[in-house]
Amino acid sequence: MNYFKIIFLGGLLTMFSCNNNTEKKTETLADNTVAKVSENSIISENDKISDLSIYNLPSQWTSQDGNTIKMEDLKGKVLAMVMIYTSCKAACPRLVADMRNIEKQIPEDKKDDVEYVFVSIDPKTDTPERLKAFAKENKMEDEKWLFLRGTKEDTREFAAVLAVNYKQISPMDFSHSNIISVFNQKGEMVNQQEGLGVDNKETVQTIIDLAR
């Protein structure tokens, strides 16, 4: 009997969650209208979100300052992104050093166009307070250093977008790939460097070429 109840509830849920479709349809319609309107103005091309952009992600994130942001809010900046966790003793401090090293090599007049984003793979431990403290410890309190935490599911999804793999291997430790990804102002991935303390020439050059 319980078994049937589960199925029945499942049925209800389905009807509920799939009924969003009518809503989605109107959304699409609304989008089209917007597109049509903007075709008439000059901004159209720059305003469209491309198929490859991380701005397509609907997930919401909390920053070290407790602000809620979506990836789309970072629009217009060149992004250097990495996934870490603050209690990590081995690879992450080196990844943080790599990011700092990259930042140092960007010319003064281009520095404002770049945002350095750290996404936590351990959202349970890495509360905004913790991220804030981590930023302070690492002297990354300037606006260009952004530390984000999301839900477990959204973090897994974001890792899939970045092709970063990670796994919790004990209550305190994660295995994870060490990848720094660069995104252009449209949110499209243009470069990835993998490994620790690797030659970052290409990453730096990519950022310099993109930044204005």
Partner 1 sequence: MGFLAIASVAMAQNQEMTLVKKGKYTPLYGRDSVQVKVMSFLLDTIPVTKGKFLEFVKKNPKWQKSQVKTIFADDHYLSDWKDDTHLNPEAKQNEPVTNVSWFVAKDYCKCQGKRLPTIDEWEYAAMADKTTPDARKKESYNQYILDWYERPKIPHQQVGSTFKNYWGVYDLHGLVWEWTADFNSVMITSESRSGGQNKNLFCSAAAVGATDLMNYAAFMRYAFRSSVRGNYDVNNLGFRCAKDIKN
Strands 60-63 and 114-120: unpaired
Residue 4 engages partner 1 in binding (rule: CB under 8 A):
yes
**What is d(CA 178, CA 195) in angstroms, rounded to the nearest whole number?**
5
The answer to whether 116 and 203 are in contact (CB under 8 A) is: no
Q: φ and ψ at 51, to 5 degrees?
A: -60, -25
Binder among 26, 46, 105, 165 for partner 1 (CB under 8 A):
165
DSSP sequence for 87-99: T--SHHHHHHHHH
Stretch near partner 1 under the rule CB under 8 A, chosen from 19-27, 111-119, 130-138, 139-147: 19-27
Closest approach, Cβ 107 to partner 1, in A, equals 29
**What is d(CA 10, CA 96) in angstroms, rounded to the nearest whole number?**
45
Closest approach, Cβ 163 to partner 1, in A, equals 5
Stretch near partner 1 under the rule CB under 8 A, chosen from 37-45, 132-140, 162-170, 204-212: 162-170
Residue 163 engages partner 1 in binding (rule: CB under 8 A):
yes
Question: Which helix or strand (DSSP H or E) is residue 6 part of?
Answer: helix 2-18
- For the chain, the C-alpha Rg in angstroms (whole number) is 20
Binder among 41, 90, 108, 139 for partner 1 (CB under 8 A):
90
Q: Which residues pair with 120 in a beta bridge?
A: 84
Residue 159 engages partner 1 in binding (rule: CB under 8 A):
yes
Residue 199 engages partner 1 in binding (rule: CB under 8 A):
no
Closest approach, Cβ 141 to partner 1, in A, equals 25
Number of residues that bind partner 1 (CB under 8 A): 51
String of b and e for 1-13 (b: at least 16 CB within 10 Å)? eeeeeeeeeeeee
Cβ proximity to partner 1: between 106 and 149 the closer is 149
Residue 174 engages partner 1 in binding (rule: CB under 8 A):
yes
Under rule CB under 8 A, which residues in 20-49 are in contact with partner 1?
21, 24-25, 28
Burial of 17 (0-12, 13-18, 19+ CB in 10 A): exposed
* Contacting residues toward partner 1, per CB under 8 A: 3-14, 16-18, 21, 24-25, 28, 51-54, 56, 88, 90-92, 156-157, 159-161, 163-170, 173-178, 194-197
